[in-house]
Amino acid sequence: MLGFRRAFAALLPLPRAGSPQAAAMSTLLISQERYAWLRELGLQEENPGVYNGRWGGRGQVVTTYCPANNEPIASVRQGNLEDYEETVKKAKEAWKVWADIPAPKRGEIVRQIGDALRQKIKVLGSLVSLEMGKIFVEGVGEVQEYVDVCDYAVGLSRMIGGPILPSERRGHALIEQWNPVGLVGVITAFNFPVAVYGWNSAIAMICGNTCLWKGAPTTSLISVAVTKIISKVLEDNKLPGAICSLVCGGADIGTAMARDERMDLLSFTGSTKVGKQVALMVQERFGRSLLELGGNNAIIVFEDADLNLVIPSALFAAVGTAGQRCTTARRLFLHESVHDEVVAKLAKAYAQVRIGDPWDSDTLYGPLHTKEAVKMFLDAVEQAKQQGGSVVCGGKVINRPGNYVEPTIVTGLPHNAPIVHTETFAPILYVLKFKEEEEVFAWNNEVKQGLSSSIFTKDLGRIFRWLGPKGSDCGIVNVNIPTSGAEIGGAFGGEKHTGGGRESGSDSWKLYMRRST
C-alpha cells in the first residue's frame, strides 16, 4: 500500500520553487503549521479520491474550502467514469469473499473499524469542523455516532435472520432466509459527511454487502480520511479493500450509480429535488433505493407547555449546525396565549448565542457551508418579508470572514405562506400562531416533507393523539424534546417527500438484504 502511495506521488510533477503550483500549494491550510494535524489522517496537499483496494483517480482536481474563512484546505483528485467502472468490478469481486464470511466474523471487522475511528475521533472531528463548518463538539459527536453504529452492528451481526414458520404440508417447514443484496451504493450529503455513511456501511457490511461511497464534493477530504481508516482495518485483516470502496466525484458519478443495474441498492441522502431524479433513474431499472431527503420540521407549543424546556429546545433545534440539519426546526407553532412570551424569550436567547470559529471550544454557532448557502439565506429572508413576515432578529450576513449569517426569527406569516412551505437549509425559524389542537396538527402535516416533529405539552391525552393515526405524519415524532437529533437504536427516516427510507436501527437492516421463503 505504501509503495502505491509513493508510486502515485511519483506520477505527480514536483512543483518548482517559485512556480505558480508551488505558490498555490503554500496557500493551502494543510501547508500551514497550525493545520499540520491534518497529516495525522494521511492527508496531503493533493489526495487521490478513488479507493478500490488501491488509491488513484483520473478525474479533475477539486479544492475544498474552510467555510469559516473560505481559505483552501487541500485538494482531491476525483474519479472519472473509467475509475467508477473499475471500482464497481472490484467491489463485485470483493463481495464474493465478503459474503462467504460468517456474519459474526463480519461483525468483528466492523468492531475493529469502530475502534480505529475511536483512536482518531478528535482529529477526524476537527476535520469535520474545518471542512464542513459545524462546531468541534458536533464534529466529534458525528464521528462518535459512526462508532456507536459500529457497536450496534456488532451485536446485530449475531441476530439477523428470519423465522421458521409452520407449514400446512405434513413433514415440511417454511424457512424465511435473508441474504445480502450484494453491492450497496452510498451517496451522502455535506451536512453529515461521516455519520450517514456510518449508518449505511456498518449495517450493510454485517449483512454481507460491499459498499461504494460517493460523498459530497465539498467534503471530499473527509471521505478520503474516513476511507483511509477503514481500508487499514481491511488490509490488516487481509481482506479486499474494495469491500469499502470510494469514488469521489460529481453528478456524473452519482448518475452512473443510479443507472447501474450492478448497484443492488442505492442509498441517497440529499435534497428532495435531486432525490426525486435519483429515484426515477433507479426505478426505471427496477432497482432498490433508500432515500433520506429533506425535512420541513415543526415544533408545536401548547398553552400548558413548560417554557423552561421550550426555549432551549427550540433554540437548539433551529440554530444547531447553523440550521443545516435535515431535522432542523424550521416552523414553530405557538399557542396564541404564549406566543408573545415565547418570541420575546427566544429572541433574547438568540442574542446570547456565541458565534465564532467552529474549532473554538466556546463557539455554539458556526458558518453556513458555502457562499451559495449564504445567498439562499438572504433570498429566503427577502421572500419572507415580501410575503408579510417581520424579522424579529437576525436576517443579515455577519461582517467577518467566512459564510456567517445571523440566526433569524420571522413572525407574522400565515401557516401556508409559500416560503413557510419551502425548506431552506439555513437558520431561519418561522414562528406561527395557532388556536386549536386539530388545526395545528393539520398544519404540521400539510407540508410535503415528513421527517421530524415535536410537541410540548403536559396533556397525556394530547400526547397519545399526537402519536396516533391522526397525529403527526412524520417518521420521527417527539414529545417535549427538540426535532433535531436521533438515537441509533431507532429507525431514522421520514415520509412523503422525505423519501420513506429508514436507516440505522430497529429493522432497517432488512433494507440491505433480500428475503427468500
Q: Which residues are catalytic?
A: 292
> Which three three-digit cell numbers place residue 78?
476525483
Residues paired with 320 in a beta bridge: none
Q: Please tell me the distance from the alpha carbon of residue 416 to that of residue 423, in angstroms, as a whole number.
A: 13
Candidates 136, 118, 104, 317; CA nearest to 206 is 104
How far, in Å, are 181, 230, 359 from residue 242 at the CA level?
A: 16, 11, 33
Q: Please tell me the distance from the alpha carbon of residue 28 to that of residue 93, in angstroms, as a whole number.
A: 38
Dihedrals phi, psi of 170, to nearest 5 degrees: -60, 135
Q: Please tell me the distance from the alpha carbon of residue 225 to that of residue 289, in angstroms, as a whole number.
A: 26
With H, G, I as helix, E, B as strand and everything else as coil, classify residue 123.
helix
H/E stretch holding 81:
helix 81-98
Which residues does 439 contact at the CB level (< 8 Å), separation at least 6? none
With H, G, I as helix, E, B as strand and everything else as coil, classify residue 187.
strand
Q: Please tell me the distance from the alpha carbon of residue 346 to that of residue 307, in angstroms, as a whole number.
A: 10
Residue 443 · residue 453 · CB < 8 Å: no
Q: Please tell me the distance from the alpha carbon of residue 145 to that of residue 125, in angstroms, as a whole number.
A: 11
Q: Please tell me the distance from the alpha carbon of residue 38 to that of residue 384, in angstroms, as a whole number.
A: 41
Q: How many helices (H) and strands (E) does the chain have?
A: 15, 25
> Which three three-digit cell numbers place residue 516?
427468500
Q: Please tell me the distance from the alpha carbon of residue 396 to that of residue 316, in angstroms, as a whole number.
A: 20
Q: Work out whether strand 71-77 and strand 164-166 pair parallel, antiparallel, or are unpaired.
A: unpaired
- DSSP tag of 212: E
> Which three three-digit cell numbers place residue 128?
469535520
Q: Please tell me the distance from the alpha carbon of residue 219 to that of residue 222, in angstroms, as a whole number.
A: 6
Other CB atoms within 10 A of residue 17 CB: 7
Residue 154 · residue 206 · CB < 8 Å: yes
Alpha helices in 180-306 (DSSP H): 195-206, 220-236, 251-259, 272-284
Q: How far is CA 248 from the centre of its chain?
A: 16
Q: How many CA atoms lie within 13 A of 258 on its CB side?
A: 22
With H, G, I as helix, E, B as strand and everything else as coil, classify residue 415.
coil
Candidates 7, 248, 21, 233; CA nearest to 114 is 233
